Amino acid sequence: MKIVVIGGSGLIGSKLVIKLREHGHEAIAASPSSGVNTLTGEGLAEALKGASVVVDVSNSPSFEDAAVLKFFETSTRNLLTHEAAAGVGHHVALSVVGTERMSESGYFRAKIAQETMIKNSAIPYSIVRATQFFEFLKQLADISFDGDKVRLPPVLFQPMAADDVASALGRIAVGPPVNGTVEIGGPEQFRLDELVRQRLAALKDPREVIADPEALYSGAKVSLRTLVPDKTARLGETRFETWLTQSAAQIPSRKVG
Ligand SMILES: NC(=O)c1ccc[n+]([C@@H]2O[C@H](COP(=O)([O-])OP(=O)(O)OC[C@H]3O[C@@H](n4cnc5c(N)ncnc54)[C@H](OP(=O)(O)O)[C@@H]3O)[C@@H](O)[C@H]2O)c1
């Protein structure tokens, strides 16, 4: 099966491409660095020729409110149009657990717009909402740092390893479209401030983490269960302690997501 991974050079995309190839699929990593740009449409028709499935794990290079909205609206519109022309039978997109509960945030308004366009299109689809990645904890500290302390709300949090996200996406991509939303999450719940504190300690990052009930998450007010998935969520296997001891955890990933 030919499967095009939009954002195939990214954290999740690069893992997904490897897993799909291991299972014998023709997986194409598509992104600006390989000449495929969903914002401009460059290279899309050629990349999608003969594809059965498209998995969109791209992310906006800018997180400024207007830029991120423009990214997800324009790239999703271009993708769905080219998929219809190419006869693609399954559009899979990666979104975030709790997206609809965080519309105060410009980033999550953009993800809502992305999900809505997919649901309204004629292409069969699966929206996969994941909880935060373990790899994202350091970046979460960076965006929650006020120059003195890292301020995070003490809410529940059920993050997962990027590797488990890619495995779940791979299984869904080769299966029938669910024409709905699937939630995936990690095997354990933590308090957000506690886990970021542990992550910084493991990185020997001296910044102090404060539990601040007024602190925002990516610009949105969150309550105890905003970030946690439903009971029906499919759970990854990798525990945080196990992930911490793996070498990947020693290298903070490059971008905020
Ligand atoms: N961070 C989290 O905890 C979290 C949790 C749940 C869901 N998610 C979702 O996961 C998704 C992927 O995140 P990630 O961390 O894997 O992303 P990432 O590592 O930042 O990678 C982003 C990818 O998007 C590509 N891209 C950027 N502009 C593009 C364009 N114009 N056309 C096509 N591709 C473009 C990049 O390509 P180049 O390398 O060529 O620039 C790169 O491959 C996002 O949609 C995010 O909402 C994130």
DSSP 53-77: EEEE----S--SHHHHHHHHHHHHH
Closest atom of ligand 1 to CA, residue 139: 1
pLDDT, the chain, mean: 95
- pLDDT at residue number 257: 41
Pick the closest to residue 19 from 30, 7, 9, 27 (CA basis).
27
> Is the shortest distance between the CB of 57 and ligand 1 below 6 Å?
yes
Write the DSSP symbol of residue 246.
Answer: S
What is the predicted pLDDT for the residue at 256?
A: 41
SS3 233: coil
CA separation for the pair 152, 174 (Å, rounded): 38
Q: Give the separation between CA 1 and CA 191, rounded to whole angstroms.
A: 41
Contact by Cβ (8 Å): 228, 156:
yes
- CB hemisphere CA count around 159 (13 angstroms): 23
Q: Say what the pLDDT of residue 8 is.
A: 98
Backbone angles phi, psi at 118, to 5 degrees: -65, -45
128, two tokens: 């996969």
* Residue among 34, 58, 183, 255 to mutate when testing ligand 1 (max atoms within 8 A of CB): 58
Per DSSP, the three-state class of 231 is: coil
Q: What is the pLDDT of residue 250?
A: 64
Residue 175: the pLDDT is: 98
Q: What is the pLDDT of residue 246?
A: 86
**Relative to the CA of 8, which ligand 1 atom is closest?**
43
Residue 29: predicted pLDDT: 98
Q: Is 43 in the pocket of ligand 1 (CB under 6 A)?
A: no
Q: Which residues of the chain have pLDDT under 70?
A: 247-257
CB 7 within 8 A of CB 17: no
